[in-house]
Structure 1
Amino acid sequence: MMFRLEDGRQPVCKLDLSRPTVSRLLRFSRDQGLVRLEIADPAKDREAAASRLEAKYGLKKALLVYDASHDRRILNEKLGERAAGYLASIVRDHDRIGISWGRALEEVANHLRPSSCKDVSVVQLKGSVSVSDMNNYANDISRNFGAAFQTNTLALPLPVIFDSAVTKDIVMRDRFIADVFAAGKATNIAIFTCGTVRNDAMLFKLGYLDKSETARLQAHAVGDVISHFITADGSLADADIDAKTVSLPLGEVKEKEYSILVVGAAPKISAIRGTLLGGYANVLITDYESALSFLA
């Protein structure tokens, strides 16, 4: 056994003790109350943090995954797997599931297993047609959700943000579009993610907004919930842009039996907090490190 000074200089004391002797000394010290050995339980820590989140934000359920990789792809896989498992546990016969799109939702869809529930319907809660070559994963998500619940997903074949509110209003009067939108409102389960207002935000890269609109949002918003941009306290960030947006209204999201937010990683902390403060989610599936930020 060797001792060193705190500054790392040469040892000042050396004891010729065998491992069995050290073990006996530790056991004696523990029995005498001089030494206490504790083993941290990460799962227990996550459960405690989840309970605190539920109490702080009035959530039905908070589920936390642990990821030390700091790799967004790996984290999304873990979130998707956990969310798919939770969804399987709550879906019942005749349920109506509303879905959005994005990388986190793609992983949820990838991890779904065939369900034995009957008469389950799936519908898109917001427009999905992109004006760029960037993939928003909407088609893959719709296909996998439909396959898991033995149904054809009702798609909303529109841009998520139109050039003008007038154009959007005219299109929304179409009977077929109105029926799909009504089906979205009738869902009792909504599962979605939230985005940021960073330059690499998917809604910015998909080409729906011009430079002045992007700058305006970056000045006032923290992110988006089902493509509705919100401020830090969960309020609507820009009424003019929202008037052009094809998505389930935020007020409707609050009324769902289950409104499930699946999202994680440090860049999205402000958006997640705004979503929770706005009351748009009653179930949160996120990572442990992000959860500690919300609780700090």
Structure 2
Amino acid sequence: MSAEDVRLMVKICKLYYYESWTQEKLAEKFGISRPIISKMIQKAREIGVVEIIVHDDPQQTSELEKEIELAYNLKQVLVVPTRDLNKELVTSAVGKAAALFVHKLIKNGDRIGVSWGNTLYHMVREFPLDKKDNVKIVPLIGGMGNERTEVHSNHIAYELSKKLGGKSESLYAPSVVETEQLREQIATLPNIVHVLEEGKRVDLALVGIGNPYSMSTMERYGYLNETVLSELRELDTVADINSRFINRDGQIVAHPINRRVIGVGLEQLREAGNVVGLAFGLHKIESIKAALRGGHIRMLVTDEATAQKMMEG
């Protein structure tokens, strides 16, 4: 779209939303057919010229936030109001709210570590353009195959760096390799060592929290077969963070897969202090609880339904 097209779109949307002009009246004023006016208004929403926000009752979510903060000794919790929204709209609402939440945490000169996953992808997609001075984004984990590369840590790091006007590193390695020996060989390559060392010194880490048994991206990419999943169940595994698996108490499980990961370890991430966990959906409740019990995250972003169920039992 040309700059002139955008200016016209803004004029039309201001009259439509601020002054309640009908589409027929707009068509008459600008000499454009009503169907074209309708398409322009829809396009304005799609490209972000117009954002529609419904202000829900903040008191209930605020109380939930305080309850979770106290129960798990967290620095900060954001519960996104999502009542009566369908799954697609919940994903969008959480992404937008997470973007604003994280944006406020970032300062000039920060080194930000990012993991991978669907929620991080939606957060970065909704992130505002706001140049910061001397900001660097570092991937915390290797790649996840050739499918859906937009949710990979390298891509998320690159896209976030563009939004912030900063630089990004790239970790050119798989997230999980076949053997521990191969992992040691790859992890000693100079460029891999450099990025992993950068990842250990981040000021802020953004991580997803996965459920290995339900809607698991790692299973979809072939990292988790039925044998591995069965072994993980026997160890009471309920979650993965940065592709490390933890049990119900938040402890890292003694499974070989955890020793084949190329990425920053949970113990190292914890030293960063500011680790934000982003996860939502009822299938993530036990996973989130495990991450909180283990002290792996200090801040949490989730949706209202998940937060409520978390605190019910």
SS of the residue 1:193 aligns to: strand
Q: Is the 8 A contact 1:122 1:151 kept in 2?
A: yes
Q: Indicate whether 1:293 and 2:293 are aligned.
A: no
Q: In the alignment, what sits opposite 1:246?
A: 262
Report the alpha carbon displacement of residue 134 of structure 1 after superposing the two structures with TM.
4.8
Q: Is the 8 A contact 1:196 1:222 kept in 2?
A: yes
Report the alpha carbon displacement of residue 69 of structure 1 after superposing the two structures with TM.
4.5
Q: In the alignment, what sits opposite 1:133?
A: 147
Gaps of 5+ in 2: 1-55
Cα gap change, 1:196 to 1:71, in 2 (>3 Å): farther
Q: In the alignment, what sits opposite 1:38?
A: none
- Mapped to 2, the partners of 1:69 and 1:86 lie a distance apart of 22
Out of 57-66 and 209-218, give the one that drifted further. 209-218
Report the alpha carbon displacement of residue 48 of structure 1 after superposing the two structures with TM.
0.9
- Mapped to 2, the partners of 1:104 and 1:205 lie a distance apart of 16
Q: Is the 8 A contact 1:93 1:118 kept in 2?
A: yes
Q: Indicate whether 1:224 and 2:215 are aligned.
A: no
- Map 1:15-54; keep pairs closer than 5 Å: 42-54=57-69
The TM-score, its normalising length taken from structure 1, stands at 0.81
Q: Is the 8 A contact 1:234 1:274 kept in 2?
A: yes
CA-to-aligned-CA distance 1:205-261 (integer Å, 9 cap, x gap)? 111234311221234311201111111110112331100011211112222231101
Q: In the alignment, what sits opposite 2:224?
A: 209
Cα gap change, 1:136 to 1:203, in 2 (>3 Å): farther
Q: Indicate whether 1:65 and 2:65 are aligned.
A: no
Q: Indicate whether 1:234 and 2:258 are aligned.
A: no
Of 255, 258, 273, 1:257 maps to 273
- Mapped to 1, the partners of 2:142 and 2:96 lie a distance apart of 25
- Mapped to 2, the partners of 1:117 and 1:85 lie a distance apart of 15
SS of the residue 1:62 aligns to: strand
CA-to-aligned-CA distance 1:117-176 (integer Å, 9 cap, x gap)? 20000010001141x535462254233201012233211111111101110001111111
- Mapped to 2, the partners of 1:170 and 1:259 lie a distance apart of 29
Which of 1 and 2 has greater Rg? Answer: 1
- Where is the helix percentage greater, Structure 1 or Structure 2? 2
Letter in 2 for 1:57: Y
The TM-score, its normalising length taken from structure 2, stands at 0.77
Q: Indicate whether 1:110 and 2:125 are aligned.
A: yes
Letter in 2 for 1:97: I
Of 105, 108, 121, 2:136 maps to 121
Letter in 2 for 1:188: D
Cα gap change, 1:289 to 1:87, in 2 (>3 Å): same
Of 91, 110, 122, 1:76 maps to 91
Q: Indicate whether 1:155 and 2:170 are aligned.
A: yes
Cα gap change, 1:195 to 1:235, in 2 (>3 Å): same
Report the alpha carbon displacement of residue 194 of structure 1 after superposing the two structures with TM.
0.8
Q: Indicate whether 1:86 and 2:66 are aligned.
A: no
Q: Is the 8 A contact 1:217 1:238 kept in 2?
A: no
Structure 1 vs Structure 2: percent identity of aligned residues? 22
Q: RMSD in angstroms over aligned alpha carbons? A: 1.7
Q: Is the 8 A contact 1:221 1:237 kept in 2?
A: yes
Q: In the alignment, what sits opposite 2:197?
A: 182
Greater relative contact order structure (CA < 8 Å, 6+ sep): 1
Of 179, 193, 196, 1:164 maps to 179
- Mapped to 1, the partners of 2:155 and 2:86 lie a distance apart of 22
- Mapped to 1, the partners of 2:229 and 2:265 lie a distance apart of 21
SS of the residue 2:253 aligns to: coil
Out of 162-171 and 139-148, give the one that drifted further. 139-148
Aligned pairs, how many? 255
- Mapped to 1, the partners of 2:147 and 2:156 lie a distance apart of 17
Q: Is the 8 A contact 1:171 1:177 kept in 2?
A: yes
